[in-house]
Homo-oligomer: A and B are copies of this chain.
Amino acid sequence: MKKPLALVAPWPRPRWMVLSDAHWARLAERLELVLHEGSPAPDELVERVLPDVAFVIGQPALPAERIARAPRLRAVVNVKGNWEPTIDYAACEARGIPVLSIAPAMAPAVAEAALAMALDLARGITPADRAFRAGCERWGIAGNLDAFLLRDAPIGMIGFGNLGRELRPLVAPFGGRIRVYDPWLPAGHLRDAGVEACPLDEVLAESRVLFVLAGVTTENDGFLDRAKLERIRPDAAVVLASRAEVVDFDAFVALAEAGRFRAAIDVFPQEPVPPDAPVRKTERILLSAHRAGGLPASYARISEMLVEDLELLLDGLPPVRLQRAQARTASIARSR
């Protein structure tokens, strides 16, 4: 019997970043793999495989009319981590074709980085190292007057999706209350997940350590505006780890630089950050060049999740590792 056909077109990622050699070989036992990397899959290639393709791994455009011409299509896997607007989610849903995303693969790495940055802000690790190199370090308590412990500190999370769920067990042993604002998740769900549902203003005003972990949609762009940011408690450490678009970025930078709160930033409205962007001139903000998620361990994880879920699909079972798009939420999620 002929093996089902999979189109692997991972651009802008290279193949190795989404499928290791070992996993590629493992998949090749059950799938006929057609690879195109280095550029977007040419239309000609996509059109050619449509009649036979069972799995599309990558981001080729899949409007309704193409889906209609792919009678054997069983799943689409986005390997960028965003919900691309070039896929017709409703058309997939109507055929029972899951559209999957590797977004959860990055979450453990982002969660660890978020904790690292929170601890850095609480203890001044980075500025203390800088001062030491400059020969002006301060010893012991003299350098620690505004240092604080995470132990028993109230934690806040804005957004409790993949990132929040990975971060929660890492901050739990510090023992503080964990307040969450996430308008997509009801109170009982959050209680069962070990956190407390709270209004946004309470999360802002009460959290000593505040993690901004919300994804950006067409509806929540900039919802952390200046007025909201001014509610943050003055001694807070704030980690911006998900998407820059959810905050009024200029206000965020200005407030942090003015000492209104401490801040670490991993995501920026424009990346790379332009040479003359004000954020480059900050003294107080901990800066990270979108490094929280993309490291070798995350790519190994993408590969494992991909091969495990494809094997489940080949066995007629539901995928359990990749994240499944819901037509409505995918439609409001904002890609980059």
In the complex, which residues 302-336 of chain A have their Cβ closer than 8 Å to any Cβ of chain B? Answer: 304-305, 308-309, 311-312, 316-318, 320-321, 326-329
Given the interface pairs A139-B272, A151-B108, A188-B321, the reply to whether A129 lies near B126 with Cβ below 8 Å is: yes
Least Cβ–Cβ distance between A278 and chain B, in angstroms: 14
| Chain B proximity of A270: nearest CB distance (Å) | 11
Residues on A lying within 8 angstroms of B by beta carbon are 17, 90, 93-96, 108-109, 112-113, 115-117, 119-120, 122-126, 128-133, 135, 137-141, 143-145, 147-151, 169-170, 172-175, 184-189, 194, 271-272, 275, 280, 286-291, 294-297, 299, 304-305, 308-309, 311-312, 316-318, 320-321, 326-329
**Chain B residue, CB-CB nearest to A133:** B287
Query: Which label, helix, strand, loop or mixed, suits the secondary structure of the A interface?
Result: helix
| CB contact between A126 and one of B90, B125, B187 (< 8 Å): that residue | B125
Contact B328 A149 (CB under 8 A): no
A115 vs B170: C-alpha distance in the bound complex, in angstroms? 11
A79 to chain B minimum Cβ distance, whole angstroms, is 14
Give Cα A93–Cα B98 distance, bound, in whole angstroms: 11
**CA–CA, A93 and B96, complex, Å:** 6
Closest chain-B Cβ to A268's Cβ sits at a distance in Å of 10
- Measured CB to CB, the closest approach of chain B to A330, in angstroms, equals 10
The residue of chain B having its C-beta at the shortest distance from the C-beta of A173 within the complex is B169
Shortest distance between the CB of A82 and any CB in chain B (Å): 14
A128 touches B184 (CB 8 A): no
CA distance A172 to B320 in the complex (A): 22
Q: Which residues of B contact A294 (CB under 8 A)?
A: 140-141, 144
Contact A317 B328 (CB under 8 A): yes
A135 contact set on B, CB distance < 8 A: 275, 280
- What 5 A-B pairs come out closest when comparing CB atoms? A116-B119, A186-B308, A144-B295, A132-B287, A137-B289
CB distance from A110 to the nearest CB of B (A): 11
Residue of B nearest to A17 (CB): B141
Distance in angstroms between the alpha carbons of A116 and B148 in the assembled complex: 13
Q: Are A125's CB and B132's CB within 8 A?
A: no
Q: Complex formed: what's the CA distance from A28 to B170 in Å? A: 40
Neighbouring B residues of A113 by C-beta, 8 Å = 119, 123, 125
- Known interface pairs A139-B272, A189-B320, A318-B329; 8 further A-B residue pairs with C-beta atoms within 8 A, sorted by A's residue number: A112-B123, A126-B126, A184-B317, A186-B309, A187-B308, A188-B304, A188-B305, A189-B321
Contact B140 A290 (CB under 8 A): yes
**For residue A289, which residue of chain B has the nearest CB?**
B137
Contact of A95 among B94, B108, B296 (CB under 8 A): B94
Who on chain B is nearest to A186 by CB?
A: B308
Given that A150-B112, A188-B304 are contacting pairs, would A138 and B94 also be in contact in the complex, using a CB cutoff of 8 Å?
no
